Amino acid sequence: MSPPYTNRATATPIGLTVTVGHPKPSAPPRRASVEVHQHTEVELIIYEHGSTTMLFGGRKLKLPPRRLTVFWGAMPHHALSADPQAMAHVLRIPMPLVLQWNLPTWLIQQLVDFQVLLDDPAKCPCSDLDLMKHWFRLIGSSPSVETERIVMLEVEARLRRMALDHRAAPALAPRTSGAGRLERLVEVIAKRCLGRLHIPEVAREAGLTRAYAMRLFRREMGMTMLEYITRQRVSHAQRLLATTDRGILDVMEACGFTSTTRFYKVFCDLAGCKPGEYRKKFQPVSASPRGSRRSGRNLRHPAPVTSDKRT
């Protein structure tokens, strides 16, 4: 999967990744595919000079310049459009490391519930853009264990300031009925993708014919509805594996899969490893009774899932 930025990137041994580059919007409507991105890190983004419109789990959000944006990359996301002068400054931190910081439960809950946090511009002790550039200089100019530790401590402090008094409200608009046909399709899928699902029913509930709905979705999203639904289900599976103790088969069923073989295949394709291996990445923190660990336990077990093709 290619990166979402035309970039200059640097990675550190403990898993920090910093990227500076121009956002790479999704393909023009007539192209066959769009790069939808998923990863296991918590992502911090600041745009310099211009804004970018992103799609997070099917919901649009315009990210203005010089405001810190934080989200968990397990949520499918990609750029829809960007100002020509927009420059992205991106820092990614492995989710297991973030969980080890014992951040306020409210903030962790927003991340594992696939919310996007958009904070007001900070001025003290400096702007977030200056702070991000400072982290990049530390990592790029004098990489060392001590440098990484300094960056991690400063990132932790910044996230704690963000969580203070719940200052950064979730920025994503709720999935409500919209005027756009695509938005209606995404809304129906969001409500029903973990349960029994037929593509014709999705189209009918959105007020469209099956053929037109499938054509519209592929043209605008760059993938079929079935591919999009699968990504959403795997994304939910990642959340449950990382934040709950539910068994893998239990997670599989809760996320709408009826075939173990199919679940393992698509999970490996999208997450890059088997479900059990993915969970092991979070084991250093999984045993502690964190509030965020309970976030997925109340999800109901949906009925077996069907569509035009079995998922």
CATH code, domain carrying 71 = 2.60.120.10
In tens, the pLDDT along 271-307 reads 889 999 988 887 654 334 333 333 333 333 333 333 3
Domain membership flag for residue 299: no
Quick one: 45 and 102 in the same domain? yes
In tens, the pLDDT along 122-170 reads 777 789 999 999 998 888 877 677 888 899 999 999 999 888 866 666 7
Task: Choose between 173 and 198: higher pLDDT.
Answer: 198
Quick one: 107 and 155 in the same domain? yes
Task: Choose between 32 and 251: higher pLDDT.
Answer: 251
* Per-residue confidence (pLDDT) for residue 26, from 0 to 100: 54
d(Cα 229, Cα 212) in Å, to the nearest integer?
18
* Residue 185 clears pLDDT 60, i.e. is over it: yes
Q: Indicate the DSSP class of residue 169.
A: -
Please compute the mean of the pLDDT values over residues 214-236 and round it to a whole number.
Answer: 84
Quick one: 155 and 202 in the same domain? no
Which of residues 166, 201, 232 is at a domain's end?
Answer: 166
Quick one: 140 and 234 in the same domain? no
140-154, 183-197, 205-219: which has the highest mean pLDDT? 205-219
**Nearest alpha carbon to residue 155 among 128, 137, 118, 115:** 128
* Per-residue confidence (pLDDT) for residue 13, from 0 to 100: 54
Domain membership flag for residue 23: yes
Quick one: 34 and 159 in the same domain? yes
Which of residues 137, 166, 195 is at a domain's end?
Answer: 166
The boundaries of the domain holding residue 215 are 181-294
Quick one: 16 and 155 in the same domain? yes
d(Cα 178, Cα 68) in Å, to the nearest integer?
27
Per-residue pLDDT band at 12 (split at 50, 70, 90): low
Domain membership flag for residue 310: no
Predicted TM-score (pTM) of this structure? 0.66
* Per-residue confidence (pLDDT) for residue 206, from 0 to 100: 86
Domain membership flag for residue 280: yes
Q: Number of structural domains, the chain?
A: 2
In tens, the pLDDT along 43-96 reads 999 999 888 988 887 778 889 999 999 998 878 788 888 888 888 999 999 888
Domain membership flag for residue 172: no
d(Cα 61, Cα 51) in Å, to the nearest integer?
10
* Per-residue confidence (pLDDT) for residue 286, from 0 to 100: 37
Quick one: 41 and 153 in the same domain? yes
Task: Choose between 177 and 300: higher pLDDT.
Answer: 177
Give the strands of the sheet with 41-48, arranged side by side: 5-11, 17-23, 87-94, 41-48, 69-72, 117-118
> 306: buried, middle or exposed (CB in 10 Å: 19+, 13-18, 0-12)?
middle
CATH number of residue 289's parent domain: 1.10.10.60
Quick one: 159 and 18 in the same domain? yes
* Per-residue confidence (pLDDT) for residue 147, from 0 to 100: 86
Tally Cβ neighbours within 10 Å of residue 19.
20
Quick one: 105 and 27 in the same domain? yes
Domain membership flag for residue 304: no
Quick one: 32 and 157 in the same domain? yes
Quick one: 116 and 76 in the same domain? yes
d(Cα 224, Cα 15) in Å, to the nearest integer?
33
Quick one: 210 and 63 in the same domain? no
- At residue 78's C-alpha, the angle toward residues 77 and 82, to 5°, is 140
Q: Is beta strand 52-56 parallel, antiparallel or unpaired with respect to 59-63? A: antiparallel
Domain membership flag for residue 311: no
Domain membership flag for residue 116: yes
Which of residues 114, 138, 166 is at a domain's end?
Answer: 166
Task: Choose between 260 and 287: higher pLDDT.
Answer: 260
* Per-residue confidence (pLDDT) for residue 94, from 0 to 100: 84
Supply 13's token pair.
């041994």
In tens, the pLDDT along 96-123 reads 888 889 899 889 888 888 889 988 877 7
